[in-house]
Amino acid sequence: MTAIRLAALAAALLAAVPAAAQTADQPLPDPNDRSDYLRIGLGAALVPDYEGSDDHRIIPGAVLQARKNGISIFSRGTYLYADLVGGAGKVNLDVGPIAGVRLNRTGKVKDNRVDALPELNTAFEAGGFAGVTFDGLTNPYDALSFRLDAVKDFGNAHDSWVVTPTAEFGTPLSRTIYVGASASADFVSGKYNDYYFGISPAGALASGLPAYNPSGGGLKSWQVGALTGLSLSGDLRKGLGLFGSASYKRLTGDAADSPIVRIAGSRSQWLLAAGIGYSW
């Protein structure tokens, strides 16, 4: 029932956008405003049980966005970004570090066959990103960003790089409604595919799944998503608000061909999230 409520909340937020945009008559804030801010959100997400699973589980989640003296900090899932360049023009460079964790199959999973495989280590990843943001393309308040992320596992997990190109677009529809969309892809090495999607002969004997040795790396997956925010205070820049997001990921290549995905799971991966936040 909790999963149904989350899905219903996210759908309701998305459905509310056109009606709210039509009724809002307050002017939007100054598009050149680069004031400091802090936004914190808490909620829950319905996510695949592991990367490639056709089972789902509900996990708690948090969202952080902040700007101080031109430096922006924001979260994406279990990763934290810091944009050290900033800018106040129509075209701005985005450059900074990334740090986070990858928790894929680090505990018990629902599928007994996959659960019989060796438990994986948490990947502690760090790296950086670089990109460009174009402001005011269709209206004075929107933003279109292109970014390239690169992170490496410095723990005792896949011990390789993950490279992710991303495109994001966001715009307020009124003082109280914000919408956004994104598209991204993950490129990984053969070491990554072997760690997360390979099955050794011993693992095949324990799980009943066929042994599998990925041939190499390349495009692991692509993903598209949408999000919306609804201010309850009457102003997106401050006060209480609701947020919801939905995304679809498709596994490809050696990852999609793994028995962990092809037999025990699914190439299609869905995620829904919803929560409540506060802005200062």
Which residue from 278, 248, 272 is spatially nearest to 6, judged by alpha carbons?
Answer: 272
C-alpha 73: how far from chain center: 15
Residue identified by tokens 């829950």 is 44
Residue-wise pLDDT tens digits, 235-251: 888 899 999 999 999 99
Residue 13: its pLDDT value, please?
40
pLDDT band at 140 (very low <50, low <70, confident <90, very high): confident
Residue spans of the domains in the chain: they are: 2-23+42-279
Instruction: Count CA atoms within 13 Å of residue 252 on its CB side.
Output: 13
Percent of the chain with pLDDT over 90: 73
Residue-wise pLDDT tens digits, 170-221: 999 988 999 999 999 999 999 999 999 999 999 999 999 999 999 999 999 9
The CA radius of gyration of the chain, in Å to the nearest whole number, is 20
* Residue that wins the pLDDT comparison between 7 and 182: 182
Q: For residues 120 and 113, what is the distance between their CA atoms, to the nearest angstrom?
A: 15
pLDDT band at 278 (very low <50, low <70, confident <90, very high): very high
Residue identified by tokens 């986070």 is 100
- Check: CATH 2.40.160.40 for 2-23+42-279? yes
Instruction: Give the mean model confidence (pLDDT) for residues 111-138.
Output: 95
**What is this structure's pTM?**
0.85
- The encoded tokens of residue 102 equal 């990858």
Which residue from 48, 46, 51, 53 is spatially nearest to 188, judged by alpha carbons?
Answer: 51
Residue 10: its pLDDT value, please?
40
